Amino acid sequence: MSETVLEARNLFKVFGKNPSAAVRRLKAGEGRTAVADVGTAAVIDASFTVNRGEIFVIMGLSGSGKSTIIRMLNGLHDASSGTVTVNGDPITGVPSSRLREIRRDRISMVFQHFALLPHRTVAANVAYPLELKGVAKAERLAKAEEILALVGLEGQGEKLPSELSGGMQQRVGIARALAADSDILLMDEAFSALDPLIRREMQEQLLELQQKLHKTIVFITHDLNEAMFLGDRIAVMRDGRIVQIGTPEDILMDPANDYVEQFVQDVDRARVLTAANVMERPRPVVPHTAGPRTALRQMRDAYMSATYVVGKDRQLVGVVTDRDAVKLVRNGATTLDSIIKPVLQSVREDEVLMNLFVPAVESPLPLAVTDADGRLVGVIPRVTLLAALGPGPGATEEITLPLMPMPQAEIDAVLDDGWTAEPAPSTSSGTRVETEEVR
């Protein structure tokens, strides 16, 4: 089971003259506008958990409450109601000395506009959290150089922040947060001030760092494509409330309401959906122990010109065509070994759609999809791949793609011309697969 590192429960934040009264009325069912006479409700009854090692993205338009939430997660804003805990220890309602200790040891922050100390060198900026912890100068500067190399800024330690580009300055901000070696990394619109190309580069580098460091990250953004690219799970906010929490695939394929559906309609689906999201049941497929007659029947029934062949535990072995199988039957052969050809193109189930177009075009069959152990788990016809990129429910419903098999009458003639039936093929478990009797 996933370990919960951060938990927010029933969070409210109201700015104004009477937050308590506003919270009572919100809990009683009044809306955000109705309580405006006593306060501005920035966050309303928000609850979520963040698991160790995941990137949890909170996204929404300006004014949705996302930046207020992240400031409540590190105690910069007091909660009007509700609780925040880090590894089970409360942040809300604790003395300021305890809050400072939690911030120093457990939570680091990366800001939108870098928030670097302009009079300090890059290395000194990165080392600053270690200085607050009382680490000796030589040790903290050595650690700073190590982390700068990790974020691609090796040799930049002696420069001032003003001598670096915006993207490089943000890398310094990330390096400073990493130097603190805290449990949780909070990133508030960390890349939104950057140019689009640099922003994409930073997103990719964050994922590369995450693969190495496995940090627990809460990332705030107003950009849905960024949320979909970075997030293991996403919380979508509107008017102070969380309206849906789910994986990028959940939110894209099963939006909770009209607002989320409208929000995701322009998402670059090719970068979000994976082969597993759109694959169909593999058909036709025959076991390695089958003979050419069984393979021909499978292809005839599916109106396909070839079939995938699988071995023990559905390991993908290769491909057999109808023309080759017909030749074997006419020659009296009962095994497929001599005509099994390698699979020219297959993809892993976690591959994003944008990487599937070339393999799909080059594959004579619907594209084979395998799991991490090489087992055949599905196929993707070309038409299904294209349909998956369109918006709206039903875009990925099953679509078959005939591949111009031999004429059915020709196959029927071969199967019914009196040759002896081949032995029934064995499955991976060793049991027989029953096939129709051949005359």
CA distances to 20, 281, 383, 388 from 399, in Å: 56, 11, 7, 11
**pLDDT at residue 214 above 50?**
yes
**pLDDT at residue 223 above 50?**
yes
**Among residues of the chain, what percentage have pLDDT more than 70?**
88
CB 252 within 8 A of CB 273: yes
Inside any domain, residue 370: yes
Report residue 71 as tokens.
């400031």
Q: What is the pLDDT at residue 284? A: 86
Longest dimension (CA), the chain: 93
**pLDDT at residue 438 above 70?**
no
Please list, in sequence order, all residues whose beta carbon lies within 8 angstroms of the beta carbon of residue 151, skipping any fewer than 6 positions away: 171, 172, 174, 175, 178, 205, 209
Q: What is the pLDDT at residue 358? A: 87
Q: What angle do CA 423, 428, 431 make, to 5 degrees?
A: 50
What does the H/E/C string look like for the chain?
CCCEEEEEEEEEEEECCCHHHHHHHHHCCCCCCCCCCCCEEEEEEEEEEEECCCEEEEECCCCCCHHHHHHHHCCCCCCCEEEEEECCEECCCCCHHHHHHHHHHHEEEECCCCCCCCCCCHHHHHHHHHHHCCCCHHHHHHHHHHHHHHCCCCCCCCCCHHHCCHHHHHHHHHHHHHHCCCCEEEEECCCCCCCHHHHHHHHHHHHHHHHHHCCEEEEEECCHHHHHHHCCEEEEEECCEEEEEECHHHHHHCCCCHHHHHHHCCCCHHHCCEHHHHCECCCCEEECCCCHHHHHHHHHHHCCCEEEEECHHHEEEEEEEHHHHHHHHHCCCCCCHHHCECCCCEEECCCEHHHCHHHHHHCCCCEEEECCCCEEEEEECHHHHHHHCCCCCCCCCCCCCCCCCCCHHHHHHHHCCCCCCCCCCECCCCCECCCCCCC
Q: Are 281 and 261 found together in one domain? A: no
Q: At what angle do helices 408-415 and 292-302 cross, to 10 degrees?
A: 150
Tell me which of 211-215, 301-305, 322-326, 370-374 is least confident. 301-305
> What is the average per-residue pLDDT within 269-296?
88
Comparing 249 with 50, which gets the higher pLDDT? 50
- What are the pLDDT digits (tens) for 382-422? 888 877 766 544 443 333 334 455 666 666 666 666 444 45
Q: Are 189 and 313 found together in one domain? A: no
CATH number where 289 lies = 3.10.580.10
Q: Are 410 and 304 found together in one domain? A: yes
Report residue 182 as tokens.
């805290």
Inside any domain, residue 81: yes
Q: What is the pLDDT at residue 244? A: 96
Q: Are 138 and 261 found together in one domain? A: yes
Q: What is the pLDDT at residue 392? A: 47
Question: What is the number of domains present in the chain?
Answer: 2
Q: What is the pLDDT at residue 401? A: 38
Q: What is the pLDDT at residue 105? A: 84
Most confident option among 116-125, 162-171, 232-241, 396-405: 232-241
Inside any domain, residue 282: yes
Inside any domain, residue 44: yes
- 184 has which bridge partners? 107, 216
**pLDDT at residue 78 above 60?**
yes
Q: Are 21 and 148 found together in one domain? A: yes
Q: Are 233 and 337 found together in one domain? A: no
**Is the Cα torsion angle 127, 128, 133, 138 positive or negative in sign?**
positive
- What are the pLDDT digits (tens) for 406-417? 666 666 666 666
**pLDDT at residue 125 above 70?**
yes
Inside any domain, residue 430: no
**pLDDT at residue 58 above 90?**
yes
Tell me which of 75-84, 86-95, 193-202 is least confident. 193-202
**Is the Cα torsion angle 244, 245, 246, 248 positive or negative in sign?**
positive
Tell me which of 129-143, 159-173, 377-391 is least confident. 377-391
Inside any domain, residue 150: yes
Final residue belonging to a domain, choices 211, 242, 267: 267
Pairing between β-strand 184-188 and β-strand 241-246 as defined by DSSP bridges: unpaired
CATH number where 70 lies = 3.40.50.300
- 84 has which bridge partners? 8
Domain of residue 359 covers 276-415
